Amino acid sequence: MANKTMANEIESKNDVFHQEIIDTFFGKVERHDINTKIIPVESQKPQKKPKNLYLSSIMLVLSLIFFATGLLYFISAKVSFNFPYLPFNVSLNYTKIFSSGSINYDNVESLAFDGDAKAKSIMQGDCIKMVNSGTIGSAKVKFKFKSTMDFSKLNLLFMIRSEPGPRAATLALTDTLGNTRRAAIKISPSWEMKNMTFSDKNYFDLKKVSSVSIEFGTSTIGNSQGTEIYIKEIGVRRADD
């Protein structure tokens, strides 16, 4: 009996010694009871890094600033394009016939120089340059409309100047029957915006105007040879604006 007890103690010591060797080289392994339920640990999903709210806020503010700046630029550019030379408030009912060196072919069928204006008159930069050569006696520029305009409800506006010194001219409206309505105008060497209104006449149909012309010849008006007239813009707007 004593021998058996001693043998068990030796075996127990040997087990402990062997376990210490295993723990030393392979790491300590915990013993579990046979009835212990081991629950596997689920692998954790990598967490997404939170967005940098501060940077996102800055980008949003900058985007809004750029959008607002672009919108204001667009609006100002549009207004400037539509009314570049008018020195007073003009409504959206204003329609250009000629501006910035371009003819509005949506409303204008043709631009023609007649008489003494044919030889040297040209489109120069953003202006129409009309020159009176003084050989025939009549000189004019004529805008013919694609469809008739109702000047009983419209004003005619044009920016004009002369060289050398002040000059005279005659503005003429022609209706579909060939009748002409004339108005004398004075032109100065400085740019001026003329605003012409017209009243009804029995012989002339203001509701069916087919063309507008400016006469500045020697015999017809009294301008000297070499007189130059410059037109920078012509347009029409509603008379009640």
Q: Where are the domains of the chain?
A: 1-31, 95-238
Q: What pLDDT is attached to residue 51?
A: 53
pLDDT (tens digit, 9 = 90+) per residue, 119-153?
999 988 899 999 999 999 999 999 999 999 999 88
pLDDT of residue 71: 55
Can you give the pLDDT at residue 38?
A: 45
| Residue 106 tokens, joined | 């949506």
CA distance 63 to 58: 9
* pTM, two decimal places: 0.60
Find the helix or strand (DSSP H, E) in which 12 lies.
helix 2-26
Left (φ > 0), alpha (ψ -120 to 50) or beta: where does 222 sit? left
**3-class DSSP state for residue 56?**
helix
Low-confidence ranges of the chain (pLDDT < 50): 2-4, 6-7, 10, 16-17, 25-26, 29, 32-44, 49, 73-91
Q: What is the pLDDT of residue 100?
A: 87
CATH dotted code for 95-238: 2.60.120.430
pLDDT at 81: 32
Determine the Cα–Cα distance for residues 171 and 194; give it in Å rounded to an integer.
Answer: 11
